[in-house]
Chains A and B, each alone.
Chain A
Amino acid sequence: MKSIFIAALIIVLIELFLFFRIDNETILNNLHNHTLFTNNFGTNESAPVKQVIKLKADLFLDTKTDFLQIGDSSGFFGVQPKIIETYFDDKEYINLSCCADAGWSGYALYLNYLLKKIKTEYVIFYFTPYSLPNQYKEGFSSNIKNYYGEHKISDLNIINHLRSLYYRNDILDFVYKKNTNNNITDPDKFLNSLNVQNFEKDTKTSSDKYLDYLKDSKGWLPYRFNDRKKGGAIKVGECDLLYHFYNKKRDPLLNKNLQKIADVTNKFNKKLIVIFNPVACSKSFDINPILSDLEKFKKNNLNVIIPFEFITTYRANDFEDNQHLNPEASSRNSHRIGSTLSKILNNKTNIN
């Protein structure tokens, strides 16, 4: 028993000492360190993805744009801002779409963070109907919340009040991270992990300069497998898209979660535009529940612009896999978006 009490006393003394050295604000500012948002240690499942999310955001923080795009990787690789900009005289477009792992709540939190840091008029929420933004990696949203969410010290989990956690990241770096870092700074590893496997050929840029390219392209990269078969069979024929539409209790998710995004844009008084990535499959009666859920969203949010149909069918050859367009098709898709947006915004009408 004595050892338990002595250990407890030592812990209390250490934490008290640190409590007076590290204040609440420092803890809140350092939250990403001890929640290990970008550290590979113990969070390796999505660490590269998280690092991409952070990296893209950091590239464009404190800038001003007219269109700010977020959403899943279909938009990351499917929308070329520079092409869209050609349809406007002096409007800018930034593509901060990243990865479906973020899930619906993750997008809303991320957008909330971005709108505080980036000035924009329109928010484009872009995703593929093929896999609808999902939350298949549990805990990812909460990780994003730890990093991008708004915190008060009273909101924190009890364990996060312990001030010694301030040093967590440093200790992990010392013991572990240096040895197992996925090394996001290694261009080839970075690009390969995103399936941007023909970067130099597609962009005529040395892979060392991928960050410069990413900044210059305003967030777009060419998605390409070395061997296209790696993307797997691409679903053609009628679409069967219901699998991420329901949660485990069989409640539809689209309207409810689009509303989360709309709530954030309303909060910041921004205009929301929702765009769906093309798919190789075609409309079927199977997607009727999705369409009626989408209608509900439209009805409740008349100010939201949804310029395209839920299903736009492209040829299977335009895709590297079910969700991602190849660079050539992404260029066509960007022209389609640019031309439609310019028509809508210049006429100030909503084609819906």
Chain B
Amino acid sequence: MTPGLGAAGEPGHAHDAEHQDLPSDPALRTKALESVLVGRGLVDRAALDELVDTYEHQIGPRNGARVVAHAWVDADYKRRLLENGTAAIAELGYGGTEGENMVVVENTPRVHNLIVCTLCSCYPWPVLGLPPVWYKSAAYRARSVIDPRGLLRELGLELPPDIEVRVWDSTAEVRYLVLPERPPGTEKLTESELAALVTRDAMVGIARVAPPAGSVPA
């Protein structure tokens, strides 16, 4: 953090720089940028508040968890979800920005799917919200495609050698969601109880959905 405005506060300095002065505090630079855009009438501050609120409070992995739980209890829905992810997800009211074209890939006892965006940070916002830092990190983007098994092992998921690992690199405008396996011991749970078990990490493919606490494995 640079105390005060520093170099960024001197118009001449920043004006001449080929790249914007990087060391200065991004919070201050952001504040300056917002003031300029609002002052010029290019953005509406209330719209910014609404955008932040939407992704902090409305759109997140609970949406995806509902999709997964519904697929677990309704075989017909699951078939539609795997055939046309966009349409089936829209049935539950989710879609739009960064989920305009969805493909859902199913984990089974024979296949494990993992999602990444090696070039950037593409992620299915309508069902998972905005991506976490680890998903956008160099470490994840680099290693997921060359050593998915080693990566998952470090994250606590040991995959047997006979399971097929499929990594989905989101290089185009298609966004992916993993349909995790339904854990054992959940036969009597309601759909909403099932949804409560489903995690973001399982829908990206770095984890399995754990059985409910206190359940006895078969």
- Are A and B a genuine interacting pair, yes or no? no
